[in-house]
Every structure is written in structure tokens, then in C-alpha cells.
Amino acid sequence: MSSLLTIESLTRQDIEEMIGLAGGFREVLDRDVPKVPTLVGKTVSLLFYEVSTRTRLSFERAAKALSADTLTFAPGGSSVAKGESLKDTALTLQAMGPDLMVVRHKATGAPWRVAEWTGLPVVNAGDGAHQHPTQALLDVFTLHRRLGALDGLRAAIVGDIRHSRVARSTSQALVTLGAEVTLVAPRTLLPVDLTEWDVATADGIDEVLGEVDVIYLLRIQQERGGGDVFPSIAEYVGRFGLTRDRAEQLSADALVMHPGPMNRGVEIDPAVADGPRSLVTDQVTNGIALRMAVLYSLLSGEGAA
């Protein structure tokens, strides 16, 4: 693997190997000194053109836990305000000598271009509504830690699927590992063409509650127009929100996931988000270990300790 740009490039075996590797790094995070010298002398550059809390901090924490240095770029306060292009920004960062770039951008395909321009390994940390492969890997890693093999697991992904890079990536990872995925959304928030998704669909959350092992909620992507295609938030919550009453209809062992940021009271009730079924904070912690595994896989060739 020279870059991680899309979950589609990974076979079942690749994903299973990454889960195995992440399991080892997860133990490192529980140690008194949660750090290993594996990537001493390496530098990871973080190029984040879109806002981020979890993903950026998680990559930073992962790099540092492997003893790599980080070089972080955010457009606010940078020469982007003076008109500098993505290409010139990427080449400028490259000239500072990083070994890998992590890229988030609102344009589909931007991380591929950065990989071409710089020749460096690139990790896609989210490109528009397209892909978010490390989110998908941390999601299946989190489920695998809880449940073991995911063959036959029944998962529903509920919310703004059309504008969600997480839905695209996580559903692919789940299907690759043998899970059955149902997408639940208003018609207007489903992708126009689902032929390549290998998933079922449902028109309302009530249809799936009693039949799923995992329910994965998504935020409405207002910044991509997701809020413009249904009448009101109240109507949305009425058909798609995981309210407290609905959570009680889930099977006893069913788990609840969300990639964050959550809009409490819209797609998920606060009590459900903080309740015993919720894997939300596990997803965050496991995400560090998974990103350690990704950085390690891409950088552990010659020169790594």
C-alpha cells in the first residue's frame, strides 16, 4: 500500500490485517506510557482544508504516539487568503520534508491530486461527499473489538447518505467484511444511483429498529445542501431520529454508532448518545489506534524503528 485514498482499494484481507494491526496499537494506548518509538525521525504533514475536530486530532495523536513529528496546515491564517492554490500549498509543505501527507478537502479527488503532485504517500481524511477510508476502518475495527467477525451482522445507516463520505466508506467496509447493510433516509437524501452499493434501503427508521445489530446515525450535512430537501427538522426527527422511545425498541444487544459531530436531539437523542449501547467515544479512541496502524503500514519501510 503506497497511499490510502479509498476503501475500495482494500480487499477483505487488507481490512482484516489493518484491524489486527490496530488491535496491537490499541494496547499501546492503554499503557502507562502510551508511546512507541516506531516512527522516530518521520514527519506526518496534516493538510486540512475543511473543518475537523476528531479526525485531525486523531491523526496528530496517532503520529505522536508512534514518535513521528507533525506539521499541521489549516487554511485560516495561511496564504490561501492571498490566493495560493492547493497545488502550491502542497508543494510548499512537501519542500519542508514530510514523509506522508494526510489530506482533507471539500473537493472530491483532491487527495489523489496531492499524491500525484508530491509523489508522497497520502491518506485521504475526507474528500467532499466521496470517501473517508480511515473512518470506515475505525468503525469496523470498533465493531470487531466488540463482536468479533462481522459476517452476517445486520447494520442500518440512517441519515443524509447522499452527502456522506462516511456512509459511502463505512458501508463498503461493512459489506466487504460480510455484513448486511440497510440505508435509511428520505428518498431525497439517498444517492441517485445505488447499483454499486450492494445494500438494501428502507424509508423510515421504524422499519429497521427490531432487526438490526448496529444502528449508525449520520448528521444532516447542511454545508452540502442536506437540509434543503425535507420540510423541517421536526418532520425529519419524526421519521428518522433515534429517539429514546425508539432506542427501547432495539434488541437488547444492539449497538449505536455515530462518526461525530452529533446534532443531539436531531438524528440522536442525548440520552441514547450517552447511553450504554453507544460506541461513540470508543470510536474516537479506537480511531487513534487505527490511524497508528495506517501510518505504520505506509511508513514502516526502510528507516522505521
Q: Which residue among 165, 242, 247, 291 contacts ligand NCD (CB under 6 A)?
A: 165
Report, in angstroms and rounded to the nearest whole number, the Rg of the chain calculated over CA atoms.
19
Number of residues engaging ligand NCD in binding (CB under 6 A): 10
Q: Which is nearer to ligand NCD, 42 or 61 (CB)?
A: 61
Residue numbers 96-135 binding ligand NCD by CB under 6 A = 126, 132, 135
Could you write out the DSSP letters of every residue in 256-302? EE--S---BTTTB-HHHHTSTTB-HHHHHHHHHHHHHHHHHHHH-ST
- Is 259 a residue that touches ligand NCD (CB under 6 A)? yes
Smallest separation, CB 139 to ligand NCD (Å): 10
> Quick one: DSSP state of residue 64?
H
Q: What is the three-class DSSP state of 46?
A: strand
Which residue lies nearer to ligand NCD by CB, 55 or 89?
A: 55
**Which residue lies nearer to ligand NCD by CB, 162 or 219?**
219
List, in sequence order, every residue forming a beta bridge with 183; answer none if it has no partner: 157, 201
- For residue 297, CA distances in Å to 25, 36, 93, 101, 265 come to 12, 15, 22, 14, 39
Residue 14 buriedness (CB in 10 A; 0-12 / 13-18 / 19+): middle
Cell 432495539 belongs to 250
Contact indicator for 86, 105 with CB cutoff of 8 Å = yes
C-beta of 54: minimal distance to ligand NCD in Å?
5
Q: How far is the CB of 124 from ligand NCD (least distance, A)?
A: 11
Instruction: Print the binding letters for residues 31-60 with ligand NCD: x by CB under 6 A, - otherwise.
Output: -----------------------xx-----
Q: How far is the CB of 50 from ligand NCD (least distance, A)?
A: 7
Cβ closest to ligand NCD, residue 70 vs residue 170? 170
Applying CB under 6 A, among 260, 263, 264, 304 the residue interacting with ligand NCD is: 260
The C-alpha cell that represents 215 in the structure block: 444502528
> Is 170 one of the binding residues for ligand NCD (CB under 6 A)?
no
Q: What nine digits make up the cell of 233?
A: 427538522
DSSP, residue by residue, 124-138: EEEETTTB-HHHHHH
What is the maximal distance between C-alpha atoms in the chain?
A: 57
User: Considering the complex, what minimum distance in angstroms separates the CB of residue 220 from ligand NCD?
Assistant: 9
Selected from 103, 110, 166, 167, the binder of ligand NCD by CB under 6 A is 166
Cα of first residue to Cα of last residue in the chain, in angstroms, is 19
Judged by CB under 6 A, which of 26, 42, 61, 219 binds ligand NCD? Answer: 219
In the complex, minimum distance from the CB of residue 241 to ligand NCD, in angstroms, rounded to a whole number:
16
227 touches ligand NCD by CB under 6 A? no
Minimum CB distance to ligand NCD, residue 98 (Å): 21
Q: With respect to ligand NCD, which residue has the nearer C-beta, 26 or 219?
A: 219
CA distance 235 to 84: 43
Binding site for ligand NCD (CB under 6 A): 54-55, 126, 132, 135, 165-166, 219, 259-260
